[in-house]
Amino acid sequence: MTEVTGKPVDRVDGKLKVTGKATYAAEYFPKNMVYGVLVLSTIPKGRIKNIDTRQAERVPGFAGIMSYKNSMSLHFPQSSDPGAGKFAEKDLLPMQNNRVYYDGQAIAVVMANTFEQAEYAASLVKVEYEVEKAAVGLHENIATKYKPASGLGGGKVQVSRGDADAALQTSEVKFEQTYTTPVYHHNAMEPHATVAEWKGDKLMVYDATQSVAGSKNLLASMLGILPDKVKVAALYIGGGFGSKGFSWPNTVLTAMAAKQVNRPVKLALARQQMFTTAGRRSETIQKIALGATSAGKLNAIKHDTTSESSFVDEFVEQAGVATSMIYSCPNVEVSHSLVRLNRGTPCPTRAPGEAVGTYGLEVAMDELAYQLKMDPVQLRLINYAETDEDKNKAFSSKNLKECYRRGADAIGWAQRNPQPRSMREGNYLVGYGMATATYPANRSASSAKAVLFADGRAEIMCATQDIGTGTYTIMTQAAADALGLPVEKIQVKLGDSDYPKGANSGGSQVTASVGPAIRAAAIGVVGKLKKMAVADNASPLHGYKEADIVVSDGRIHLKDNPDKGETYIQLLNRQGLQKVEAIAKTNVSTRQQAESSPAAKGTPEADAEEQSKTNPAVQEDEHTDRKPYTFHSFGAQFVKVLVDPVLNTVKVDKAVAVMDIGRVMNLKLAKNQIMGGMIFGIGMALMEGTAYDPNNGRVVTRDLAQYLVPVNADMPQLEVQFIDKPDPYISPIGARGIGEIGITGIVAAINNAIYHATGKRVRDLPVTLDKLI
Ligand code: MOS
């Protein structure tokens, strides 16, 4: 049987999705349910003096209102890690007092029998404020900037090696520029939504979340109840991109509201509400300085980022982190500062850090290449990092040179005349640009369960979730190969916090984290089958060595003589077993601090830890020596743009990505992920950007008519290629993550192509036509 991993298998949930049978969080209708609608603040800072609810209460169907005046008390959240439950605004637990820290903050939940009644009643709530002076703009408040101690997950954000300032002084060629990016919003198709129902002291929650396990722990910790009293389900999720990684006020408020009215409550955010209470990508100012020899060898890199955070939590947009290892350079200084503003807390957004950071650095590299009169690809090859010079370690696997070569071929780089504004096609100016893509290859501890039934079917269970990326499908493929079953015989069950804990869907880590756990659980089942068969007088495999036995096509048989064996159905039925099951935990992390501590007794993870001690797949995986390596994915982005010289409109005509992401699990889904990232990048480069009213800090572009995202008419010819070489150290499967790297590099590549086409360098995103005049 040939392996199904790597094959372009169709999405196993595709049919359910296109027929509307895949149920999203807002599509549950518990009996006696009421609809909740949020009332949002309309000032950027101050205090609520009074909430007048008399008119709202007279609306037919009115069921209740919750505000700081009558809401239950919350406990301070215990965790600051999305996988364990990270509340987005730890210093602003919702509706605990009358403070307002931003425009669009949730200040009341109005409940009624129908959605329309609730929405109407919410519109009648009258709020009086005492307004205070707010900090509303990043540039206006730059004097208040400070250096945060650490970034996401406690990571280092101030990095230096050598002496970048001194090296810059003595460099033959110097370059320095500032790049700015606006606020971007995730705009997942599915809005944040929660359905909460209390059954006695137990809480059932359907939530649009990138972490059912984290959401469960967080709710328990904030509500002050035991985790085993809470169950969170998210069977299908319509995109997250980071916005559903942290937990926002809407989720816990739904649970609080359901308790207050003693009825199930459904609360979905309106698109407009998602612009203030569900995160965003921080606005950034990046100052980049490069020093090089006249032959193009980098001698110094400085990358200083200032971004915005809120007054109620701290989030660092880690734009410079990749700069510390992307090129070979002896003197590097990476720094990050924050300015607190009266806005909600920013959060990870597809490739947090790298998406904006590779824009700044890779445009700067292009500018340096022009200054040196050198080909931009050549400049990158001269400064190619053979090792991770930040960590002083080898890369687990890196094939970036091949990415550059293949990408250049695919776009026709050799035909490019490097002179700006020198190439034309009909009326259009033609530009070619390129950039390096990179994103860390994260992996963290995960558990999974595999069950083989006597009818030859199998089920896999893991409390991770498919946020739309194809996790159900690739995990089915991984399980199929390990269990020796066709994909049709396997059902992967995810998105339920009662299953063994899997990774949160953040940091592109699910494939690398959950895949090995599922494989190990499946191998655990196979191990049990082998033992059973060799001990069974009636089995054709009786007395053979387990090491000589393999599985394929639903059969257990000798490796060298496939006819000698039997089907799983025969074996289990003869043994009188309904099922054989195994549970496994792979406690491997590519980051410090992310290995998990021992599980609590009686939980599925504790069982998984026990069984894993004798699971050969877990043992091999956990005993792989990863200390000498760092784990990163790389790629090359090449684009061709057409610019109308009269209207200054930019059309990306062709975009090529060549990605080195380890082994490709499913070619169709992998291409889909990279294309999605590239399309996100087209939006970042050319059209997206959230505008705030400078007077009152209110989001102006708060819907998809004002906030432009790319549509089909904006699409170029997209070409995605993979190196497809398994990473020998990340896991036995060899696949690294893929959800985020597609957006890295592309923004710079577009920008560089626009410069090549027009001779005009725009250092402020997005590159709208007014900036090209
Ligand atoms: Mo991702 S932006 O870490 O969900």
With a 6 A CB cut-off, is 506 part of the ligand 1 pocket?
Answer: yes
What was the pLDDT predicted at 592?
Answer: 59
Distance 464 CA to ligand 1 centre (A): 14
Quick check: is 27 catalytic?
no
Mutation pick for ligand 1 pocket among 187, 350, 510 (CB with most ligand atoms within 8 Å):
350
Distance 504 CA to ligand 1 centre (A): 9
Q: Which tens digits make up the pLDDT trace of 711-764?
A: 999 999 999 999 999 999 999 999 999 999 999 999 999 999 999 999 999 999
Hey, how many other C-beta atoms are within 10 angstroms of the C-beta on 434?
A: 29
Q: Which of 315, 270, 268 is nearest to 104 (CA)?
A: 270
What was the pLDDT predicted at 595?
Answer: 61
- % pLDDT > 70, the chain: 99
Tell me the three state secondary structure of residue 565.
strand
What tokens were used for 648? 């200054």
With a 6 A CB cut-off, is 210 part of the ligand 1 pocket?
Answer: yes
Find the mean pLDDT for residues 422-448: 97
Question: What pTM was estimated for this model as a whole?
Answer: 0.97
CA distance 110 to 118: 6
Find the mean pLDDT for residues 411-424: 98
Lateral strand order in the sheet of 446-453: 490-493, 458-461, 446-453, 579-586
What was the pLDDT predicted at 74?
Answer: 98
Find the mean pLDDT for residues 98-116: 98
With a 6 A CB cut-off, is 504 part of the ligand 1 pocket?
Answer: no
Atom of ligand 1 nearest to the CA of 245: 4
Distance 170 CA to ligand 1 centre (A): 40
**Contact 105/96 with Cβ under 8 angstroms?**
no
What was the pLDDT predicted at 672?
Answer: 97
Mutation pick for ligand 1 pocket among 282, 443, 740 (CB with most ligand atoms within 8 Å):
740
CA 625 to chain centre: 27
Q: How confident is the model at residue 152 (pLDDT cuts 50, 70, 90)?
A: confident
What was the pLDDT predicted at 604?
Answer: 87
Atom of ligand 1 nearest to the CA of 244: 4
Atom of ligand 1 nearest to the CA of 349: 2
Q: Which tens digits make up the pLDDT trace of 194-248?
A: 999 999 999 999 999 999 999 999 999 999 999 999 999 999 999 999 999 999 9
With a 6 A CB cut-off, is 194 part of the ligand 1 pocket?
Answer: no
Distance 181 CA to ligand 1 centre (A): 18
Q: How confident is the model at residue 766 (pLDDT cuts 50, 70, 90)?
A: very high
List the alpha helices (DSSP H) in 200-248: 212-223
What was the pLDDT predicted at 598?
Answer: 83
CA distance 352 to 400: 21
With a 6 A CB cut-off, is 348 part of the ligand 1 pocket?
Answer: yes
DSSP string, 628-696: TEE-EEEEEEEEEEEE-TTT--EEEEEEEEEEE-BS-SBHHHHHHHHHHHHHHHHHHHHT--B-B-TTT
Lateral strand order in the sheet of 106-112: 62-67, 106-112, 34-40, 265-268, 193-199, 202-207, 230-233
Which secondary structure element, helix H or strand E, spans residue 354, and what is its range? Answer: helix 354-372
Q: Which of 203, 193, 300 is nearest to 243 (CA)?
A: 193
What was the pLDDT predicted at 1?
Answer: 57
Residue 700 pLDDT > 90, yes or no?
A: yes
Please work out, in degrees rounded to the nearest 5, the angle formed at the alpha carbon of residue 182 by the alpha carbons of 181 and 188.
Answer: 115
What tokens were used for 439? 């994103």
Atom of ligand 1 nearest to the CA of 467: 4
Residue 153 pLDDT > 90, yes or no?
A: no
Find the mean pLDDT for residues 169-180: 98
Please work out, in degrees rounded to the nearest 5, the angle formed at the alpha carbon of residue 687 by the alpha carbons of 429 and 467.
Answer: 125
Which secondary structure element, helix H or strand E, spans residue 164, and what is its range? Answer: helix 164-170
Distance 210 CA to ligand 1 centre (A): 9
Distance 670 CA to ligand 1 centre (A): 17
Q: Which tens digits make up the pLDDT trace of 591-650?
A: 755 567 788 888 888 999 999 999 999 999 999 999 999 999 999 999 999 999 999 999
Looking at residue 464, what DSSP letter applies? Answer: -
